[in-house]
Amino acid sequence: MKKLPRDFYDRDTQQVAKALLGKQLVHQQKVGRIVEVEAYLGPHDLAAHSARGLTKRTAVMFGPPGHAYVYLIYGMYHCMNVVTEPEGHASAVLIRALEPLQAIGQRTQGPGLLCQAMAISRAQNAVDLVTDPHFFIANAPAVPSEDIVAKPRIGVDYAGEWKDSPLRFYIKGNRFVSKR
């Protein structure tokens, strides 16, 4: 099982988002195949947390690529992202759903549920996925572009002209994708 290198994350966020489909998210002994993601492009993207500028919470997004950005949402769930593009770009990819592969005993469709199933919380915020021994993303065959569907992101109606941008990507026909 080979970890994705820094270079993988250090490029255009939409490219990283699509390339992450099919890869394996690993935390401790748990493994899940990434089947759904969303791209958050940077401060100009009104759906992105970094659109509010550099704050204590969003500092990770402004940092180097390959780090995890984990935050608490609605007081009860966590969402996990991977930081992309060179330091200073403040972009990231949200992991939205996994296909359970190993040691996962709970549902993994939806960003909150997958963090619960993978035991990911704010304790993992800012962890470097390129160097951490227990929390990383492992390489796996790429999903062919004809099997990738692009749709508007979920739950970002507040994002004005950005709310309908097709920045959600998932594997066509995969039963673990969070919504239809």
Partner DNA sequence: CTCCGGATTCGT
Partner DNA sequence: CGAATCCGGAGT
* Strand partners of residue 94: 38, 81
* End-to-end Cα spacing for the chain: 31
Say if CB 176 and CB 170 are below 8 A apart.
no
Question: Is residue 52 a contact residue for DNA (CB under 7 A)?
Answer: yes
Question: Is residue 40 a contact residue for DNA (CB under 7 A)?
Answer: yes
Question: Is residue 74 a contact residue for DNA (CB under 7 A)?
Answer: yes
DSSP, collapsed to helix, strand or coil, labels residue 110 as coil
Question: Is residue 73 a contact residue for DNA (CB under 7 A)?
Answer: yes
Which residue stretch of 5-13, 14-22, 50-58, 138-146 sits at the interface with DNA (rule: CB under 7 A)? 50-58
Which residue stretch of 103-111, 126-134, 141-149, 166-174 sits at the interface with DNA (rule: CB under 7 A)? 103-111
- Residues in binding contact with DNA, number by CB under 7 A: 37
DSSP structure string for 134-169: SEEEE--PPPPGGGEEEEPPSS-GGGGGGTT---EE
Residues that bind DNA (CB under 7 A): 38, 40, 47-50, 52-53, 55-58, 61, 69, 71-77, 79, 81, 92, 94, 107, 110-114, 153-156, 158, 178
